[in-house]
């Protein structure tokens, strides 16, 4: 039986844990070869090892252009090229406007915005030579509206939506589709960190914010990484061959657009 990603090579940034690891597993299950790229090199190696011969680990810092270039070159040499890029690497912080520092600003923008732009820049020449490809960027429901004490994260994820549209229009002539996914509240280890930050800034007991946001989702629960990986497979596959420049909300009904 033919699988949806047979013969494809995917590079997934932030692929070692959480949503990224679920995407890597889903891609391998659909027949792709996958490069698990992450700053956490040991975790990337463990995730790739668990996926077998169809996966490889790549140590990559998406804020470092040399690291991106070296990682992309390693994947192209090992697997022959890259057909799919998933820009999943991201960081989250909270702070009041008075607390924002230039360092915190740079961290959020260098990873969430710069990492998206410059990793795409590194893979596009190879995709053009292969006659096309697919780029999937990660925004967030936080990119759809502002939120108190989350100015930096919300603004970076709003930028990803705009980047996706501009990139898609530029690369359409080259057969490269560019879309984004905007997850809602997803039950990953990162959300435990987020919950702790909300406990600080909203004076809540730990665990309460996580429970409340799950209950507030129209479908009634926090999503799982696998529920983000499934639409990612769709966007990467030929099923989505006429879809580009879109940001798909995968959030249980939190945001309607």
Provide the 10 A C-beta neighbour count for residue 193: 13
Give the pair of three-digit tokens for residue 236. 């990467």
Contact 168, 177 (CB under 8 A): yes
For residue 198, what pLDDT is reported?
86
For 140, 203, 205, 235, 256, the CA distances from 250, given in Å and listed in that order, are 9, 29, 28, 12, 10
113 DSSP 8-state letter: I
Using a CB cutoff of 8 Å and minimum separation of 24, what contacts does 161-167 make?
A: 161/247, 163/113, 163/116, 163/117, 163/137, 164/137, 164/139, 164/245, 164/246, 164/247, 165/245, 167/120, 167/135, 167/137
For residue 257, what pLDDT is reported?
83
For residue 6, what pLDDT is reported?
98
201 is catalytic: no
What stretches in the chain show pLDDT beneath 70? none
Q: Report the residue count for the chain.
A: 257
For 140, 151, 192, 211, 222, the CA distances from 247, given in Å and listed in that order, are 9, 20, 26, 27, 20
How much is the mean pLDDT over the chain?
Answer: 96
Q: Write down the catalytic residue from 153, 201, 221, 242.
A: 153
For 34, 54, 55, 91, 214, the CA distances from 209, given in Å and listed in that order, are 35, 39, 36, 19, 8
| Separation of alpha carbons 86 and 233, rounded Å | 10
Write the CATH number of the domain with boundaries 9-184+225-241: 3.40.50.720
Positions of CATH 3.40.50.720 in the chain: 9-184+225-241
For residue 250, what pLDDT is reported?
98
């Amino acid at each position: 039986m033919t699988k949806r990603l047979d013969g494809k090579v995917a590079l997934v940034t932030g692929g070692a844990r959480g949503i990224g690891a679920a995407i890597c597993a889903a891609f391998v299950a659909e027949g792709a070869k996958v490069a698990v790229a992450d700053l956490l090199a040991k975790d990337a190696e463990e995730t790739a090892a668990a996926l077998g011969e169809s996966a490889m680990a790549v140590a990559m810092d998406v804020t470092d252009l040399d690291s991106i270039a070296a990682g992309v070159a390693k994947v192209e040499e090992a697997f022959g090229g890259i057909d799919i890029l998933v820009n999943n690497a991201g960081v989250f912080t909270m702070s009041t406007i008075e607390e924002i520092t230039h360092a915190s600003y740079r961290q959020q923008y260098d990873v969430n915005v710069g990492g998206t732009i410059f990793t795409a820049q590194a893979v596009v020449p190879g995709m053009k030579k292969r006659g096309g490809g697919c780029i999937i960027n990660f925004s967030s429901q936080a990119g759809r509206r502002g939120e108190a004490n989350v100015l930096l994260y919300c603004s970076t994820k709003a930028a990803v939506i705009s980047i996706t549209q501009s990139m898609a229009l530029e690369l359409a002539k080259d057969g490269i589709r560019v879309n984004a996914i905007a997850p809602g509240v997803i039950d990953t280890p990162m959300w435990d960190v987020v919950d702790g930050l909300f406990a600080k800034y909203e004076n809540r007991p730990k665990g309460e914010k996580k429970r409340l946001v799950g209950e507030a989702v129209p479908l009634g629960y926090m999503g799982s990484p696998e529920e983000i990986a499934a639409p990612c497979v769709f966007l990467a596959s030929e099923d989505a061959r006429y879809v580009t420049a879109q940001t798909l909300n995968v959030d249980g009904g939190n945001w309607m657009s």
